[in-house]
Amino acid sequence: MTSIRILYNDRCPICRAEIAHYRARAAASGAPLLFEDLNRADLGGWNLTPDQAKRRMHAALPDGSIVSGIPAFAAIWGALPRMGWLARLVMAPGVRPLADLAYNRLAAPWLYRKELRREALAGQDGRA
């Protein structure tokens, strides 16, 4: 079984916690998920700049295509036992536009702004 590669920001505490949950579930079930920290990954292989990578969740599917946002979450949920229903729900025609709106206009920009502030503060402290 070919793995789904997940690109995420390990420096973001919220992202790190969510991925830790998915990673534990994948390890316990043998789900074909691989997790790559965007701060260590070869982003050229993802065809992303560091800034683009930080703005949302990305997944490389077994067929080689790369999806972002809600489809990336659906790929994760679809691979995990007892979460496939959530993948089907967010990708359903009547729900997908709302899920995209919530993620693209609210959640992802909020997390991105928090990350930029965290990086700026770390830079001021000399920890960048």
User: In the structure encoding, which two tokens stand for residue 124, read together?
Assistant: 């001021």
Close Cβ partners of 102 (under 8 Å, ≥ 6 residues apart): none
| pLDDT at residue 122, rounded to an integer | 85
- For the residues 36-40, what does the mean pLDDT come to? 96
- For the residues 18-37, what does the mean pLDDT come to? 97
User: In the structure encoding, which two tokens stand for residue 12, read together?
Assistant: 């973001």
Report the predicted TM-score, pTM, of the whole model to 2 decimal places. Answer: 0.91
Specify whether the CB–CB gap between 44 and 50 falls below 8 A.
Answer: no
Q: Is 128 a residue whose pLDDT tops 70?
A: no
**What is the spatial distance between Cα 90 and Cα 88, in angstroms, rounded to a whole number?**
6
Dump pLDDT digits (tens) for 45-57: 999 999 999 999 9
**What is the spatial distance between Cα 40 and Cα 46, in angstroms, rounded to a whole number?**
12
Closest by CA position to 50, among listed 68, 38, 35: 38
User: Would you tell me how many other CB atoms lie within 10 Å of the CB of residue 59?
Assistant: 23
| pLDDT at residue 126, rounded to an integer | 64
